[in-house]
Structure 1
Amino acid sequence: MNRRLFINRLCEPASFNQPGNHFEIQQIELSACHARTGTEVMARPFCGATQQTGLKMISQENIKNALRDDEFDYFYQPKVSLITGELVGAEALIRWIKPSGEIVSPGAFIPLAEERGLIKEITLYLFKKLKHSLPLIQEIKPLRISFNVTADDLETDELTEDIIDALKSRKLPPNSLEVEITESKLIKSKPAVKDNLNRIVGSGVGVSMDDFGSGYSSLNVLADYPFSALKLDYDLIKDIVCDNKKKFIAKTAIRMAHLLKIDVVAEGVENRQQYDLLHYMGCTMVQGFWISKPLPLHEFIGFIKKGVRFPGSAAGQIHMMFVDHLLWYRDFVYYAMSRSKKTNDNFSPRPITSHRQCRVGEWFYNEGKKLLAKSLSSQSLEEIEKIHSNIHDESLRLTEILDENCEVMHNQAHILDDFNRLHHRLIHKLQDCENSLVYDYVTA
């Protein structure tokens, strides 16, 4: 049956040039993204008050004509690091810009393009534009630019080859590019999709799971695909300040991403309260209208040149170190107690004794030390490093003693005293550093 769907939220005109409409436009796009019909999508394009033309039908032929007439382009929405407060990237978002200046929401035509098999053509067309824009952006500041793909785009090798060729021919660093894909699109995807994602990751390009927390979410997809980032959906973020359940889900997702060693990006940040809460939770990056609306290339380049700095600190990452160490400490004590009872406990395997290979050390020596150096004194960093190293030296000594005589724990209960003292010193030091960073952040 042929059906037409009228979207009430789209019935009022809005303009990118009218102040105060940024939030409304974002709401429109999010609502419209789920609007699918049998043959047509009914929507009002974004237009100024003097360009009201009533509801217009967007057809397959309209989309083909727009491709032919070069009416599709990318707008760039900045991404900011919650650790440094610096601009670190942007998401390239599709826009249909008509000759009259009207901008059609992607939610008004993307569903139809997907239904009619046009989405792959649009993605390839826009990537050609993106690979010309990337060098212009990289000349000003090394940023990672992400763009959206669907499973359909990756069922053949064409886009993958284009990405790899762009990196080589334009001599772009692989970390200048990231692919975003919605996890729901991967549930029933063909094997070729996973193969192409693995090839893209193999070239050094990041892959982000988009819209995490919206509707259907499968942790199996997160485990089975080579994601380098997790993107928290707008619907989860919009109520994060007042909805305790969503706050808990977001906090858990951020912690999970940390354990998986991947970045977390929160989209749809619209106010300082959301920004501050995500910083407190240890989120890595944010984007949203509080930072900036999506900008055409020339305006985005202007935004980069301004060097705008937002609030940021490593307090969330210090807290992650705190939790990581507590978990390692718990595992070690459990292991020691199990060994003393001569139990063959598979749930308490021998813990990592190298201070560079545990979760704290791995993060600290790979990127953490450099990041923390921007916020902490060299004395604090040296103290954290020394105490942490001493804890692991002591754990190695204890492990060797237990290997030789596992009954020693019964006769010498004090054997863990030095280990526990070092543990408490590190905990107190990390807590002091976190408190100091939080104070600096809230009083800045």
Structure 2
Amino acid sequence: MPEANHSPLRAAQKQLAAVVERLGLGPDVYELLKEPARVIEVSIPVRMDSGRLKLFKGYRAQHCDVLGPTKGGIRFHPRVDLDEVKALAIWMTFKCALLGLPYGGAKGGVICDPRELSRRELEELSRGYIRALAGFIGPDRDIPAPDVNTSDQVMGWMLDEFSRITGHPNPAVITGKPLVLGGSRGRGEATGRGVVVTIREAARVLGMDMERMTAAIQGFGKVGSWVARYLHRSGTRVVAVVDAYGGVYHPDGLDVEALFAYGRQNGTVRGFPGGQPIDNESLFRLPVDVLVPAALENVITEENAPHIQARIVAEGANGPTTPEADEILYRRGVFVLPDILANAGGVTVSYFEWVQNLMQYYWSEEQVVRQLERLMVGAFKAVYRCHVEESVPMRLAAYMVAIDRLAEALIARGWVPATDYHHVPQPEPAEAAVDVFREPAASV
């Protein structure tokens, strides 16, 4: 379990309480949103390759469906616990509300180390998780997706198991699937792309030039690796990357494409010959323009926040900054792009995938990129406007925009009494833009 002082659930509830008070909402809104509406805990039996039967503990938290069916990823990790899953479901509700998506938030997880499982064992675990939860999910109930240590292949197995149980194909029940099973083009890189869209927009309002900026990234998985590639294509020098096994640093900038290939081949960036070793502690102290935490929760704390020199912190991970650290960063003038804004690209393209599955009509990658750009830029502008007009940190502004929309829906459904609370601007989709992060033509 996480330390009580760094509990992600406590952090989510503290953020919620601050916004409810700021908007002048009644206590009913806080009571309805402070905990998931439903939490399912399951035991998943898997016959291991050794012949031994092993039970794995799994969870699914479904937070609030006032805006629509719940939506959220499934992570396989040794440190999964119920407190974390609840918090991530709450944050997903806020993220969907901020982007204007017709979803509530959910999150799932299984306590395991997938590196210790064979492919067959991983498939059995994936199918077993869906068998245990089949009665609680569906395209109009709760739609899972990949998260930490799960992939499009894992989603393919889960989709197949759900289809076997229901007796018919149902691609809209899960997003992040392989293309051949109804996945969306642009889904794999969507979270990283969205992070860089928000960094670009932040650079504009701060008067910074991306071609003169430097960046350091913690995490080089499905989010961090794409953040690095898109930053590199935008002209930003990525000087340091750290993953779970180690890191690499070069003050003049890393060869990101070579690093990406090395990471895929070796499963880590440690030992990459294009730089010198660096650890997490040193990465957070680097004099860079942008710091991107793209790993797990609670990595920026009151201990290391005073030493962060970045002008922009873009949260590629969910909940990477503790509330105490957040206050320190704000006092020091660090411009924080909060997780519910910065990393919303993944759930946004998952929404596009769900829509395509329901219509049985599929979009080109260019269409996906243009629509993602519109929603991400629109959300950034609404949050930044709230940040300026209300004189509040960007995180509080993002929560104010999201919870304003949730409160409106709660009142419209009659879940809470109507009240004359303080409204803030809601996102308006921006004009569609060209793909500024396109791979250079010479590399195609």
State the TM-score, normalizing by the size of structure 1.
Answer: 0.31
Bigger RCO of structures 1 and 2 (CA < 8 A, at least 6 apart): 2
State the TM-score, normalizing by the size of structure 2.
Answer: 0.31
Higher normalized helix content (fraction of residues): 1
